[in-house]
Structure 1
Amino acid sequence: MKWIDGTNAIGKDGKIEKQWQAVVSKLLQTSIFALLIIRFGTQFYPEMIAEPKYLSWSSFAWSALFFAVIFFQRIQYYFAWTLADAICNMSGLGFNGYDSKGRARWDLVSNVDIIAVELATSLKETVDSWNCCTMYWLRRVAYDRTPQRYRIVATYMLSAVWHGFFLGYYITFLTGALFTVAARTVRRCVRHHFQGTLFMRRLYNLITFITTKIALAYATFPFVTLHLNPGLFIYKRLYFSLHILALLAIFVLPIILPPESRKQDKSRLSPTKTSNDDDDVKKLQ
C-alpha cells in the first residue's frame, strides 16, 4: 500500500527520495555488462573447458581459462539482476533507508551484491550475496525449519529442485553443501591461529579469497553446463581433488588441529558479552 500511495520512499526530511542517481548508476553497470557479454560471451562458453583443444593447454593456461569462463557466466546474471533492480527503482520500489553517511539506499530489492561476490573470502559470503531474494526465502522455508544436522543439505537440495531437473544442478548443489560444511570446519580449526597480528589476518583473508574462487569455479561448472557428463568429466580429470580435500577437512583436520570451542570464539571476538554481540557471532559462524 505504501508503494501504491507513494509513501514508501519518504526520507528523513519528509520528502520523497529521488531514485534517479541509483537508477543511472545501475543502468551504467548493465551497459558495461551488456558490452562484455556481446564482446566475449560467445568466446567463453562453458563446454570449451572440456574440449580436447583446450585440455592440451598447460595447467596454468587451462586454469585461467576455467576462471574466465565461470566469470563471464556470472556476468550474465549481473546484467539481468541489475537491470531488473534498476527497473524496480524507476517504478519507486527499493528504497531502504540510509547508509552510515546519510546517503539514500535503493537496494531493498537488489538480488546480488556484485562487489561482495567478487571479493568474498568464504563460500558463505558468496552465497549470502548471490540471488539474495531467493536466499531469504530458502532460509525461511528450509534452513530455519530443518533440524540443525540436516539443514545445509536440505537447503541446497531444495534450491536444486527449485532450479529444475537438469542433473548438473544437483551435482553443483551437493558439491556446494559439502564445501559449506568443509569451510565451516576449516574456519573453526584454522582461523584462530591467524588472528595474532594484522599481517596474519590479511594472509588468512588472502588464502581464503583464493580458495573461495577456486571452490566456486569447481562447484559451479556442472551448473552452467546443465548436464551430467561435462561436470563429471572435468571432476574425473581433476581426480575429484576438491571433493577429497573437503572430506579430509571435515573428518581429518579436526583431529590434527582441534577446533576452537564456540565459547572461546565468542569471548575472543567480543570480550563484553551482549545480546547484539552474540547475534553478530552467530552470523559469523
Structure 2
Amino acid sequence: GVERAVRMAKEAAERAKGKVYSYGQLVHNRLVVEHLRGLGIEPLEEISPDVPRRGDVLIIRAHGAPPEVFREMAGRGVEVVDTTCPIVKEARGKAMALMGEGYEVIIVGDGGHPEVKGIVGCLEGRAKVVRGASEAKRMDLPPKVGVVAQTTESLDELAEVVSAVLPRVRELKVVNTICGAVIRRQQEVEKLAKECEVVVVVGGKNSANTRRLAGIASKFCPNVIHIEEPSELDKVRIPREVRCVGVSGGTSTPRESVDEVVWKLQRILKGV
C-alpha cells in the first residue's frame, strides 16, 4: 500500500498543471514526506476555504480520508488522486457491512489516527473506538456488537478487546481487518527480539505500526533502538562484543533505509 501510494503521488505530480497537495502526510515516514515535498507535493494538515482550489490536485494519503473530503473537493473542482491502501478500503467495507447487518461497530485502534477517523466517517460517526480491553470493559454495550481493527493493530490487542466484550453481549461478530504484512512483521520482530541482544527498529516516530514493532520487541529484548533514519546510528553506542543485532522496519519505511542501517551496523560491529 505504501509503495503504491508513493508511486501514484509521483505520477500525479508529474502530470499536474496546478499545485499538488497531500491530505496530511502521504505516509508516516519523514524521509518519504520530505522527498515528495521536493517533487512539489505539499502536505496539508487541514483543508482551508481557499486551499486547495480549482485546478489543484489533492492526493488522499494511504490511510484514507473521510467521505466529506471527497465531496468537498468535487464541489471545488479539485482533482482527487486516491492512494488509500486497498487493505484499508477493505477494512472500511467490512465495518460498513457490519453496520448494515445491524451490529454496533467497535473499532480497535487509535481514535486520533487518520485511518480510524476515515472508518468512523464512513460509518457516519456511528462507531465506537477503543484503544484496549480496559476501555472496552467500561463501555455500555448493546446486545449485538461487531468488531473490526485498525489495520496496523496487534493481534493480541484485538484478542484482548474481544475477550472483554464477549461475556457482555448476546451476539458478537469479529472481522480480523489487521493487514497480513503487519502481522508477519510483528511475528518476525518478536522472533528477532527473542534471539538478539539488540533490536533496531527503523521507521517514523509517528508511524503506528513502527511504534508497535518497537513495543513488541521491548517485551522480549531489553535493548530496543527506534530510529527514523540511518544517520541516527552515529549517536547510538552498540558494544562491539554484541554478537546479534536484529533489524526491522515499519511498513512505511523505504527498503533502502533498512539496507543502509544494516550496512552501518555491520561496520559498527566490525569497528570500521
What is the TM-score with the length of structure 1 in the denominator? 0.22
What is the TM-score with the length of structure 2 in the denominator? 0.22
Higher strand share: 2
Higher helix share: 1
